[in-house]
Amino acid sequence: MTATHDLHALGQSLWLDNITRPMLDSGTLARYIAELDVTGLTSNPTIYDRAIGGSDAYDDAVRSSVDAGATPEQTFFDLAIADLVRAADLFRPAHLASGRVDGFVSLEVSPLIAYDSDTTLADAKRLHALAGRENLFIKIPGTPEGLVAIEESIFAGVPINVTLLFSPAQYVACAEAYTRGIERRVAAGLDPFVPSVASLFISRWDAAVTDRVPADLVLKLGLAVGGTAYAEYVAFYETPRWQALLAKGAKPQRLLFASTGTKDPTASKTLYIDGLAAPDTVNTMPEDTLLALAESDVTINALPTDGSAARAMLARFEEAGISIDGLGLELQQKGAEAFVKSWASLMTRVTEKAAAVASA
C-alpha cells in the first residue's frame, strides 16, 4: 500500500495541480489515476503558459484557432477546454462512483473580469456550457467582489471551484455565499445539489512569515490555518441550517487544500499533505509532490475536527505580531495581482506561439 492509497482510504481526494497535452497523450494522467489514486485535477494560467511554451504539442491547435480568426483569449480557451474535456472523461468513473462530488477538472475565468460579478457569472455559464461536461468546475476568486458571482453562479447551477481563499474567515465567507445560493435554489424549487469546492491556499502563509517569526514557529502557520479552516468546515455543515438543506438533497461545498507544494527546500515535500489529511476534503498538489507522496512511508493520521491545537497555534502567531486576518487579506490581494500577471504572460505566450506557427 502507498500513502496515496492511505489518503484515499481516509476519504480525502487527491487531485493533481497540473495538466498538459503531452501528459494526456502519453497516458501519464491515466497512470496516475490507476496507480496513484488521483481523482481530479486543477489548472491555472501559469500551468498553461508553461505547457504551451514548453512543447510543440499545441502548435497545430493554435494554428487552427488563429486561422479561424480567434483572439489570443479565445485560442487559449479552445486549447484548455480541449484538454480538460479529455481529462474530465478520464475522471468520469470517479465522478459517478462518488455521487458526483469528485472526479472534477477546473477551468479559470479571466482574472481581468474578476471584479465584475455580472460578467464573471455570464462567462462561467458560457465556459461550462462550452465544455459540455458536468464534472468541470469553473474557478472564480473568493474575493469580496467574487463572492457575489459565486452565489449567483451556484444559484444558476454552475459547478464552482472558489479559488484564492487564504484565511479561515475568508473560507467562512465563501461557505456562506455557497449556502445562500443553495438556499435560493431550494426556495425556487430547483435541485439543491450544485457541486463546489472552496480552495484554501496553504504554502504561501509560511513563505510570507519565515523571516518574521521565532524559529520554533517556522513552517507551522500553513498547517495551523488549514487545521482551523477544517474545524470551521466541519462545524459549519453540522449546523441545523445545513442539516435541513441536507435533508432536501443538498451537499456540502468541500474544503480543498491548495498550494500544497512546499516552497522551503528544507521542508518535507509532503509537509502539507500528511499534515492536512482530512476526510471529505480535497488536496490538490503539484506533480512532484504527488510522486514524493507515492514514494514516502509517512503515516496518515486524520486532522482533529475540533481545531483546538490549530487555533492555539494561530494565537501564538498573533502574539508574535502576525495578524491572521490582515495577512490573509494581503495574501489574497497579492494572489489576485499575480493571477492578472500570469494571465498577461499567458496571452503573450499564445500570441508569440501563433506568430511562430504562422511563420513556420
Model confidence, pTM: 0.96
357/360 Cα distance (integer angstroms): 5
Give, for all 360 residues of the chain, the pLDDT tens digit: 689 999 999 999 999 999 999 999 999 999 999 999 999 999 999 999 999 988 899 999 999 988 899 999 999 999 999 999 999 999 999 999 999 999 999 999 999 987 788 999 999 999 999 999 999 999 999 999 899 999 999 999 999 999 999 999 999 999 999 999 999 999 999 999 999 999 999 999 999 999 999 999 999 999 999 999 999 999 999 999 999 999 999 999 999 999 999 999 999 999 999 999 999 999 999 999 999 999 998 889 999 999 999 999 999 999 999 999 999 999 999 999 999 999 999 999 999 999 988 876
pLDDT recorded at residue 245 = 98
Q: Count CB atoms within 10 A of the CB of residue 283.
A: 26
Number of separate domains in the chain: 1
221/275 Cα distance (integer angstroms): 12
- CATH number of the domain that residue 93 is part of: 3.20.20.70
pLDDT recorded at residue 117 = 87
Q: Which domain holds residue 25?
A: 3-359
CB 52 within 8 A of CB 58: yes
List, by residue number, the catalytic residues: 139
Q: How far apart are the first and last CA of the chain?
A: 49
178/170 Cα distance (integer angstroms): 12
| Listed residue (164, 165, 222) closest to 338, CA to CA | 164
Query: What residues contact 138, with CB distance under 8 A and at least 6 apart?
Result: 106, 107, 108, 109, 124, 127, 128, 153, 158, 159, 160, 161
